[in-house]
């Protein structure tokens, strides 16, 4: 492109296209070059014929400057691009890699998380690993599809039974791949799990009993049912995914622990049984676990009495019921099913942190009784933290201290959206209360008899906010501390907080 003098270009256009009197050009300014630029047609001709002998020095100079400038811009652009790419790679190596390495290292150091559907089965407390094909790859000591007894019943169904003795120590796991068949709701797959104490006192080992009932031997043989007798004992079953509506398959699994004069302290009990009803019998305090993890999907999970340091019970469409005792954390979680439970949360001697409990569902009610158990010498700061959450179901919660437990600090948070919320705390409760309801009323009911359970001073109630939809204040002994913040919260329906005398 040729850059023309603006004045010359303008007057050239006037000369060519505008009729009128002759316009006198201004005198040349001192210092201005006397070289006149050619018009557009001449410039184009010179540019298209650079080797012509008639080419003027002016056109050659302009062409040289053009290509020189173009090459300079291109070189600077590519040089800047290379520099930017090098800086990007350097930053990725120096920042990205350490972050990835740190996260992977942290993952291994912190231990495997509780197993959820679709996660890596290597995180389970067992040498059993579910492969993508639905079968199980296990250690060399695994026994699969071994039956003690098989018979054809009068009802045309095949009954198969097996039993496996286990050493009563370490970890126990039971899991099934039945969730793979949920795409066909007509398929009849069911089962139940029972964990209890063996009624026979002469049996000194733990025993797995397994019974299957199938509509044909072919269906049973397509199952991969395996057992591991090693330290981390377990039973796993791969369910065929090509069953039709006319076929049926059911399992009955029983795990019995021996009667013992001393308490059996086991590492873990882990289950993942989507189509199974799961029931833990009254095994506490004869049998305790460091960790109890129960997972289901459609059927109920119940515990008559179980004790563990950490308890996690997760269900999808089935209810959670029973009695649970935990010393570190206790979590009951469903999505579209009720929770009805008795919880005993324990703050053991020497424990530095609080004991947690959590109840969570979305489309059904929560009914729970929580008992706080702690010795007098526990941490004077917060001993218990509880989170209760619902969306479209009522909450009815009673929290009380064990008779042997002095008033213990409690951080209790309850949240509901579209259903009533009723929370009752005994007269030993000490802490803040904070109730809020957006479209309805909030109530606080206080017992008239407020006995002094502490030597730190008389029991006091200090309301801060007292309106129709919001109640906030503090209740306790002595002076109000600064680190309590329990509250209940509702969106549409009534919130009720009550204190009663024990």
412-428 pLDDT, tens digit each: 888 887 778 888 888 78
Q: Which two tokens stand for residue 501?
A: 């005398």
Nearest CA-CA partner of 193 in 253, 255, 149, 240: 253
CA distance 270 to 324: 15
Instruction: Report the pLDDT value the prediction gives residue 134, as an integer from 0 to 100.
Output: 36
Strands 206-214 and 158-166: antiparallel
Q: Which of 351-355, 443-447, 488-492 has the lowest mean pLDDT?
A: 488-492
Peptide bond connecting 90 to the previous residue in cis, omega within 30 degrees of 0? no
Please name the residues in contact with 469: beta carbons below 8 A apart, sequence gap of 6 or more: 436, 437, 438, 440, 441, 442
Instruction: Report the pLDDT value the prediction gives residue 3, as an integer from 0 to 100.
Output: 40
Asked if pLDDT for residue 258 goes beyond 70, the answer is yes
Asked if pLDDT for residue 241 goes beyond 70, the answer is no
Please, where are the H alpha helices in 169-244? 217-222
For the stretch 166-197, pLDDT in tens is 888 888 888 887 654 445 555 577 889 999 99
Asked if pLDDT for residue 231 goes beyond 80, the answer is no
CA distance 74 to 84: 15
Which DSSP symbol is given to 95?
Answer: I
Instruction: Report the pLDDT value the prediction gives residue 147, as an integer from 0 to 100.
Output: 85
What value does the mean pLDDT take over residues 104-117? 36
CA distance 196 to 184: 33
Q: Which of the pair, 362 or 290, is modelled with greater confidence?
A: 290
CA distance 105 to 98: 10
Q: How confident is the model at residue 144 (pLDDT cuts 50, 70, 90)?
A: confident
Instruction: Report the pLDDT value the prediction gives residue 62, as an integer from 0 to 100.
Output: 47
Q: Which of the pair, 383 or 186, is modelled with greater confidence?
A: 383
Which of 76-85, 136-145, 311-320 ranks highest by mean pLDDT? Answer: 311-320
Instruction: Report the pLDDT value the prediction gives residue 190, as an integer from 0 to 100.
Output: 83
Asked if pLDDT for residue 142 goes beyond 90, the answer is no
Instruction: Report the pLDDT value the prediction gives residue 148, as an integer from 0 to 100.
Output: 87
| Average pLDDT value for the chain | 72
Instruction: Report the pLDDT value the prediction gives residue 453, as an integer from 0 to 100.
Output: 54
- Alpha-carbon torsion 277, 280, 281, 282, what sign? negative
Q: How large is the greatest C-alpha to C-alpha distance in the chain, in angstroms?
A: 131
Q: Which of the pair, 463 or 158, is modelled with greater confidence?
A: 158
Residue 207, beta-bridge partner list: 165, 256
Instruction: Report the pLDDT value the prediction gives residue 280, as an integer from 0 to 100.
Output: 97
Contact 253, 179 (CB under 8 A): no
CA distance 302 to 277: 8
Instruction: Report the pLDDT value the prediction gives residue 392, as an integer from 0 to 100.
Output: 82
Annotated domain spans of the chain: 54-111, 126-309, 325-502
Contact 58, 46 (CB under 8 A): no
Q: Which two tokens stand for residue 465?
A: 């906010």
Instruction: Report the pLDDT value the prediction gives residue 489, as an integer from 0 to 100.
Output: 47
Q: Which of the pair, 193 or 227, is modelled with greater confidence?
A: 193
For the stretch 60-99, pLDDT in tens is 444 445 455 556 667 788 888 888 888 878 776 565 544 4
Instruction: Report the pLDDT value the prediction gives residue 291, as an integer from 0 to 100.
Output: 95
What value does the mean pLDDT take over residues 149-173? 87
Of all residues in the chain, the percent with pLDDT exceeding 90 is 24
């Amino acid at each position: 492109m040729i850059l023309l003098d603006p004045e010359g270009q303008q007057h050239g256009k006037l000369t060519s296209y505008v009729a009128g009197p002759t316009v006198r050009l201004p005198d040349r300014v001192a210092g201005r070059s006397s070289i006149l630029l050619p018009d557009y047609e001449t410039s184009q001709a010179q540019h298209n014929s650079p080797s012509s002998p008639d080419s003027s020095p002016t056109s050659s100079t302009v062409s040289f400057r053009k290509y020189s400038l173009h090459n300079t811009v291109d070189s600077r652009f590519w040089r800047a691009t290379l520099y930017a790419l090098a800086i990007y790679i350097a930053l990725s190596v120096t920042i990205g890699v350490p972050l990835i390495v740190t996260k992977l290292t942290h993952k291994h150091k912190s231990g495997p998380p509780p197993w959820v559907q679709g996660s890596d089965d290597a995180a389970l407390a067992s040498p059993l690993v579910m492969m993508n094909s639905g079968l199980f790859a296990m250690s060399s000591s695994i026994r699969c599809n071994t039956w003690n007894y098989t018979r054809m019943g009068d009802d045309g169904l095949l009954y198969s039974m097996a039993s496996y003795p286990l050493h009563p120590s370490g970890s126990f796991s039971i899991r099934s791949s039945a969730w793979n068949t949920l795409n066909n709701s007509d398929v009849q797959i069911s089962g139940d799990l029972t964990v209890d104490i063996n009624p026979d006192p002469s049996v000194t080992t733990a025993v797995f009993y397994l019974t299957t009932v199938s509509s044909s031997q072919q269906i049973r043989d397509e199952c991969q049912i395996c057992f591991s007798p090693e330290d981390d004992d377990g039973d796993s079953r791969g369910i065929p995914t090509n069953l039709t509506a006319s076929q049926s398959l059911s399992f009955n699994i029983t795990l019995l622990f021996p009667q013992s004069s001393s308490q059996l302290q086991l590492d873990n009990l882990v289950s993942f049984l989507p189509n199974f009803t799961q029931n833990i019998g009254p095994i506490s305090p004869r049998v305790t676990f460091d960790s109890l993890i129960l997972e289901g999907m459609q059927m109920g999970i119940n515990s008559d009495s179980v004790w563990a340091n950490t308890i996690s019970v997760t269900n999808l469409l089935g209810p959670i019921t029973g009695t649970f005792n935990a010393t570190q954390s206790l979590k009951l979680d469903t999505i579209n099913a009720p929770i009805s439970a008795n919880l005993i949360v324990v703050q053991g001697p020497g424990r530095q942190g609080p004991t947690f409990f959590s109840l969570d569902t979305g489309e059904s009610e929560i009914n729970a009784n929580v008992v706080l158990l702690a010795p007098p010498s526990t941490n004077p700061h917060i001993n218990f933290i509880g989170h209760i959450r619902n969306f479209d179901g009522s909450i009815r919660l009673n929290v009380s201290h064990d008779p042997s437990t002095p008033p213990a600090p409690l951080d209790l948070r309850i949240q509901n959206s579209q259903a009533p919320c009723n929370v009752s705390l005994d007269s030993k409760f000490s802490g803040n209360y904070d109730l809020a309801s957006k479209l309805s009323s909030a109530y606080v009911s206080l017992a008239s008899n407020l006995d002094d359970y502490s030597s730190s001073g008389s029991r006091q109630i200090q309301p801060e906010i007292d309106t129709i939809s919001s109640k906030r204040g503090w209740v306790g002994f002595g002076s109000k501390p600064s680190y309590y913040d329990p509250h209940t919260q509702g969106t549409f329906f009534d919130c009720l907080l009550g204190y009663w005398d024990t």
